[in-house]
Amino acid sequence: MQYALKSEIPGRVRLKLAGPVPEDDVAPLMALLEGCSDIEQARVYPRIGELAVEYAAGEGARDRALAFVGGIGRADVEAARGTCVASTTVQTRRLLLDIAWLVGTYLARRWFLPKPLALAYALVAFVPFGLAAARSLSRARLDVPVLDASAIAMSLLQLDANTAGETMFLLNLGETLEDYTEARSESALVDALLNVADTVQRVNGDIEEQVSVAEIQQGDLIAIRTGMPVAVDGVVESGMAMVNQASLTGEPLAIERTVGDDVFAGTSVEEGEILVRCKSEPGQTRLRSIVSLVKNADQYKSQRQARREALAARIVPFNFLLAGIVAVATRSIVRTSAALMVDYSCGLKLTGSIAILSAMSQSAHAGFTVKGSKYFDAVKDADTIVFDKTGTLTEATPRVVKVLGTKGWPQREVLRFAACLEEHFPHPVARAVVKAAAEQGLEHRELHGDVEYLVAHGIASSLEGKRVVIGSEHFVVEDECIEITSAQKTRIARETEGLSPLYLAVDGKFAGVIGVEDPLKKDVAASVQDLRDLGFERIVMLTGDNERTAARIAEAAGVSEFRANQLPEDKYAFVRELKAAGRKVIMVGDGVNDAPALAHADVGIAMGQGTAIAKEVADITLSDGDLPSIVKLVRLSRELSSRLDRSFAAVMGLNTAFLALGIAGAITPQTSSLLHNATTVALSLSASRPYK
């Protein structure tokens, strides 16, 4: 980017660019500048082609910041375009230009156009209002567009171009301000969601590494396995998987994807393993899926808010009835017009949607992503919360602290075989096993054949024609019929006391046990007590671990009710049982085995480090996976409900007062319209305030 130094003070420089900056380039340019560690703040002046940069303190920061600006090229701007949305600065600039245009054209018509031309212009300007009203009437609806068109038409029938023009000006101004306020809230939400990091498994030759989605480029090869998200748009190069596309198509059943098939970002693998060649910029697909989430939030609208908006819409016909009564009683067109100038629908829809967008945006900043406002309602009304154990109440980074081998199976071989199988799966315990093997320098990659992941049980594979299995005691001993002697059982119980054991068997013979320490998260006990203080009547822990381990974790967490040895169908059945008893249930989990229960609960909450399937079916995702976020979520949900109640009362009270004053003749219809639009914008701005 070419520039000349225009002025400078310590810590700040102003640069003259080669020419004006196109409006569409402002947001990506700002995103690039904000990504430079040496630039603390930047501002683009597009029309005059200037750039103000505040650089960080420290030696060389100024020169590095200027070098960064000079190195920005067209390709960089285009690349950044896919990962940013219009900034609030850009939106504000456009708002000011729109207002200036509205005010300027209105005053020019009012002051300089002769009455016949002003009337002709008013008739032309009325056409969009008339068409909107006609569309509503064609659907047999008496709504706000009909109300607005009727009020304008009354002035035009009196050949009063000034009043009609003033009414249309106020309506257009109000709509412009309302659109800006809503767009600003949506932009803040999208920005917050874009800041949530995602990672993928990139394959480069024989090496597989976990990297940020932001590092992925077109043409990269990505490995995706059971429970993992599809973070890119691409083509399957090898393997076969069942892919859940509910987020894109709404279809709950997974479909088979194999070599040559397309897969899309925002979906997830329920079962199988595929290698996918990325065919588009991940930033663009991620932005698309986030914007889609925001735009489609109406699917998940709060029933409480929907009922209020429906009430406001049902009031519109009564505006016409009231206008008729006023016309008969007063024979005053001015007072009759006043009855048509105020509606409740706009205020309720705008204040409600902005309050909800603000809550969703604040949620994203606080570490939880909410799919729609009805889940805030569900959290507010819930009286029971059910937790999975591993990765939810316990740390997402457990560690291996004990390895036991049997005769002929040294500890290192037990750990090597376990890591060979576990390296493919996105589960905290699997990561712990792989990490332990890496710390001991054990080479274990690709020693086996195809891997089969058995949900909530374990993993099976083959090695040199021998069947290798690893998993829970139930899976290895009962399902796989592996014999363990009483002496071995006694030793395992003694040496893995307080640990979560993984059993390994090779070719039908018991090989060893890996003891995984699954420490409780530091804030769990306090958070459980906070939830109890907030009124939750039942707090339950479900786990696939044995009774002894479950009791130890439950006691440490302060959870008085727990169930051990739970399979996915058991967790689902328990949630169904609670709901059948009239409970309002929150389910919190992170694994593939939690997905049925998450989907069936009144609101499912998935931990951010969990599997893609859990996050796909859940209604809320905790990006940082800590329990204090759930406490914040409950409090935020209750505050949102209170804010919606206050907004409803204010909209109904103020607009009723403006309606009464207009009908009484105390204010003109145009004044009531101005007050109506001004208070709607003011209440909307109030609704966008941060929650306590």
Q: Which of 148, 191, 343, 388 is catalytic?
A: 388
Q: Which H helix or E strand runs over 13?
A: strand 12-17
Q: Which residue(s) pair with 508 in the sheet? A: none
Q: % helix / strand / coil in the chain, to the nearest 5? A: 55, 20, 25
CATH number of the domain residue 543 falls in? 3.40.50.1000
Is residue 407 domain-shared with residue 511, that is, in the same domain? yes
Same domain, yes or no, for 405 and 507?
yes
Beta carbons of 422 and 444 less than 8 angstroms apart: no
Dist. CA 455–CA 458, nearest whole Å: 7
The span from the CA of 222 to the CA of 274, in Å, is: 8
Domain count, the chain: 3
Residue 646 tokens read as: 């206050």
| Residue with the two structure tokens 């090989």 | 511
CATH number at residue 490: 3.40.1110.10
Tell me: do 529 and 388 sit in the same domain.
yes
Residues 338 and 542: their CA atoms lie apart, in Å, by 61
Specify whether 502 is located in the same domain as 526: no
Q: Where are the alpha helices (DSSP H) in 447-485?
A: 473
Q: Residue 87: phi, psi to the nearest 5?
A: -70, 160
Region class of 343: left (phi > 0), else alpha (psi between -120 and 50), else beta: beta
Cβ-in-10-Å burial (0-12, 13-18, 19+) of 403 comes to: buried
Check residue 477 and report its DSSP letter.
Answer: I
Selection from 632, 625, 629 nearest residue 390 by Cα: 625
Choose the final residue of a domain: 25, 47, 81.
81
Which residues does the chain have with pLDDT short of 70?
Answer: 81-93, 95, 174, 177-198, 214, 227, 245-253, 266, 280-302, 396, 424-427, 444-457, 464, 591-592, 608-616, 624-625
Residue 501 lies in a domain: yes
Residue 67's CATH number: 3.30.70
Last residue of a domain, one of 33, 60, 81: 81
Q: What is the CB-side half-sphere exposure of residue 678 using CA atoms within 13 A? A: 7
Q: Is 420 within a domain?
A: yes
Please give the structure tokens belonging to residue 241: 């998987």
Nearest to 346 by CA among 686, 683, 670: 683
Q: Is the domain of 543 the same as that of 496? A: no
d(CA 294, CA 194) in angstroms, rounded, equals 12
Q: Name every residue whose Cβ is closer than 8 Å to that of residue 354 and which is 6 or more positions away in sequence.
A: 181, 182, 185, 684, 687, 688
Is residue 188 a part of any domain in this protein? no
Give me the pLDDT at residue 174, please: 67
Find residue 60's DSSP bridge partners. none
Q: Is residue 92 one of the residues assigned to a domain?
A: no
CA distance 529 to 540: 13
DSSP 476: I
Residues 554 and 494 in one domain: no
Contact 339, 659 (CB under 8 A): yes
**Sign of the C-alpha dihedral computed for residues 273, 275, 280 and 282 taken in this order:** positive
Same-domain check for residues 506 and 586: no
Q: Are 425 and 226 in contact (CB under 8 A)?
A: yes
Is-catalytic flag, 388? yes
Both 537 and 508 in one domain: the answer is: no
Residue 637 lies in a domain: no
Considering only CA atoms, which of 189, 616, 186 is closest in space to residue 365?
Answer: 189
d(CA 651, CA 46): 39
d(Cα 517, Cα 231) in Å, to the nearest integer? 31
Question: Does residue 432 lie in a domain region?
Answer: yes
Position 512 scores a pLDDT of 92
- CA dihedral 507→508→509→513, nearest 10 degrees, is 90
State residue 328 phi and psi, 5-degree precision.
-70, -40
> What is the predicted pLDDT for the residue at 574?
93
Q: Which two tokens stand for residue 445?
A: 């990659």
Same domain? 477 vs 583: no
Do the domain assignments include residue 120? no
SS3 665: coil
> What pLDDT score does 531 carry?
93
Structural domain including 74 reads 3-81
CB-side neighbour CA atoms (13 Å) of 381 = 15
DSSP-derived secondary structure for 36-55: -TTEEEEEEETTTTEEEEEE
Instruction: Write the CB contacts of 540 (distance below 8 Å, at least 6 apart in sequence).
Output: 384, 385, 386, 387, 559, 561, 562, 563, 574
Do 574 and 494 lie in one domain? The reply is no
Return the number of other C-beta atoms located less than 10 Å from residue 41's C-beta: 13
CB 559 within 8 A of CB 540: yes
pTM of the model: 0.64
Please indicate, yes or no, whether residues 512 and 481 belong to a single structural domain of this protein.
yes
Distance, in Å, from the CA atom of 194 to the CA atom of 201, rounded to the nearest integer, reads 20
For strands 50-55 and 39-45, give the pairing: antiparallel
Give the pLDDT score at 197.
47
- Same domain flag for 374 and 459: no
| Rounded CA separation 370/290 (Å) | 12
Give the length of the chain.
Answer: 692
Extract the tokens encoding 272: 């199988």
Do the Cβ atoms of 87 and 187 come closer than 8 Å? yes
Of 81, 115, 142, which closes a domain? 81
Q: Give the SS3 label for residue 399.
A: strand
Q: Say if 434 falls within a structural domain.
A: yes
